[in-house]
Amino acid sequence: MEKEAGPEAVVTRCDDPWYDEPDPARGGRDGGAAVTEDGRSGPGAESGRGPAGTCLEAESGRSAADIYLEVQRSPAFQEVRRRYRRFVVPASAAFLLWYLAYVVAATTAHDLMARPVAGALNVAVLAGLGQFLTTFLLTWAYVRHARLHRDRAALELRWDTQEMTRGVRR
């Protein structure tokens, strides 16, 4: 790698990959606490780099795996997962039932599906278009639910996890 991109290319960075804009309320140019080459935090330090360009471990000496397991077991993470499942399981079940009903009706109820509704439109065409419509409606509902009920809590968990892996506790 050094031959192609130079010695700077082998530096491992711990920047937050999710955001391009810094959050001044959290410190550092990428939202994390800035750290100098010798492991001290301070202004002007390059964020997330430790000795020899490696990511810093938490101050308590815990590994990243321990920190992620702790976050996974936390009540906040469990609440985000509960909210996710409370929407996704019923919505998926309802859509699957609607799809299977359409397929079963199309294969077994020929007379029903061939019944004209308006002009050249019959029940089968309207039900098929309804499948597309419900796909878009389900996508809209999922995005809306995520924005209103999960995104803020998930973002807080992400920041907390990032700070814990950098050794910074809120």
Structure confidence by residue, pLDDT tens digits, 98-148? 999 999 999 999 899 999 889 889 999 999 999 999 999 999 999 999 999
pLDDT digits (tens, 9 = 90+) for 65-94: 888 888 889 998 999 999 999 999 999 999
The phi and psi torsions of 47 (rounded to 5 degrees) equal -65, 135
Q: In the chain, what percentage of residues exceed pLDDT 70?
A: 62
Sequence spans of domains, the chain: 2-56, 75-155
pTM value is 0.56
Indicate the burial class of 51 (C-beta count within 10 angstroms; 0-12, 13-18, 19 or more): exposed
Indicate the burial class of 67 (C-beta count within 10 angstroms; 0-12, 13-18, 19 or more): buried
